[in-house]
Amino acid sequence: MRPRVIFMGTPEFAVPAMERLALSDLCDLSLVVTQPDRRAGRGKKLVSPPVKIAADAMGVTTLQTGSLRHPEVRQRIIDLSPDLIVVAAFGMILGKWILDLPVRGCVNLHASLLPKYRGANPIATAIAEGERETGITLMQMDRGLDTGAMYASSRIAIDEADTTESLTPKLAALAGNLLEANLGPLLAGALPATPQGAGASLTRMMTKDDGWIDFRRPAVEIERQVRAMWPWPRTWTLGPDSSRIQVHLVDVVVETVGAPGKIVRRNDEVLVGTGSGSIILRRIQLPGGRPVEGRALLNSGSLTEDERLGEAGGPMDLPPLVVPVSGP
């Protein structure tokens, strides 16, 4: 009898790993646990999680739940007596009862090179922090937040144009490959694990306020912020009339054209001063409008050259996206 595996995951990121388990000859994917359908889009229609859609297409049994504490959910998982539980972006904390249940334990496919960027937001944070590479870590799960020992990892370069939207599927594919390469030894209990070393850091969930552009920061940091916040929450600023302007795409200019937030037209481009250097607005979205080229900011007539973006202020006392962690 082949080992029984339960997979837990929800978004598109988790789909390749689930598919590798479903197609593997090394195990039986007995159950996929995912979150409930959510309302989405302008019509607020119920939409199933990507993992649910993919599992249904492959004929794999799914269980949708908003909590692992429901007695019927707990009993169903216990009754399967899984040999291994694989988790990828599930979105829920696993309690001690489930961590202790499988013979081979619970493992997680985490989207960073641990111990850096533990927590909820490793992909966007790696871009925002200017990392040249990131990756996937296959790790043991314990009661801590991404603190378990590491089985294996795989690296990938972060392209200069990568956004969270473009980098996530690359990492998803990498996660599927890493799981497939290590599944046999993992199921046999023959895969050694290495404790995480020093240099741990913890990321947090993003909010819409994290998209606010502080033009006092250097242009290179703002450009990374724009890419990290795409497609959500998207970066934004306030015009002189306090209207919200989304900033979708920018380029960096070494020259500082003016005070932070100052708008300058140069040929057919719109530049904005920052704390160091300037940014060229490549694509923006004005209130109530569609995405347009940056020069539309001045062509709209609502703003004029030498006015300043962001003077109306923005969110105060935002906590950092990532903080260092002391201890294991």
Walk me through the domains of the chain, giving residue ranges and CATH numbers: 4-203 (3.40.50.170), 208-299 (3.10.25.10)
**pTM for this structure?**
0.96
Average pLDDT of the chain is: 95
- The secondary structure element, H or E, covering residue 32 is strand 28-34
- In this predicted structure, which of 110-124, 148-162, 218-232, 283-297 has the lowest mean pLDDT? 283-297
Q: DSSP state, 315?
A: -
What is the structure's pLDDT at 186? 98
Q: Is the pLDDT of residue 313 over 90?
A: no
Question: Closest Cα to residue 211, out of 237, 239, 235, 242?
Answer: 235
What is the structure's pLDDT at 316? 83
Q: Supply 269's token pair.
A: 């481009």
Q: Supply 157's token pair.
A: 């370069």
Q: Supply 323's token pair.
A: 């903080």
CA dihedral 219, 220, 224, 229 (to 10 degrees): -10
- Taking CA atoms, 150 is separated from 112, 113, 197, 266, in Å, by 12, 10, 10, 51
What is the structure's pLDDT at 280? 98
Q: Where are the beta strands (DSSP E) in 81-222?
A: 84-88, 106-110, 118-119, 133-140, 150-157, 201-203
Residues 6+ apart with CB under 8 A from 59: none
Cα separation, 36 vs 69, whole angstroms: 15
What is the structure's pLDDT at 306? 81
Cα separation, 11 vs 275, whole angstroms: 37
What is the structure's pLDDT at 300? 75
CA dihedral 36, 205, 250, 157 (to 10 degrees): -90
Residue range 137-152: mean pLDDT, rounded: 97
107 pLDDT band, cuts 50/70/90, is very high
Q: Is the pLDDT of residue 301 over 80?
A: no
The burial class, CB within 10 Å (0-12 / 13-18 / 19+), for 287 is exposed
Between 14 and 39, the more confident residue is: 14
161 pLDDT band, cuts 50/70/90, is very high
Q: Is the pLDDT of residue 61 over 80?
A: yes
What is the structure's pLDDT at 42? 77
- In this predicted structure, which of 68-72, 73-77, 136-140, 306-310 has the lowest mean pLDDT? 306-310
305 pLDDT band, cuts 50/70/90, is confident
Q: Is the pLDDT of residue 302 over 80?
A: no
What is the structure's pLDDT at 140? 98
Q: DSSP state, 262?
A: B
Residue range 34-62: mean pLDDT, rounded: 93
101 neighbors 73 (Cβ within 8 angstroms): no
What is the structure's pLDDT at 40? 82
What is the structure's pLDDT at 191? 97
Between 171 and 42, the more confident residue is: 171
Residue range 199-210: mean pLDDT, rounded: 96
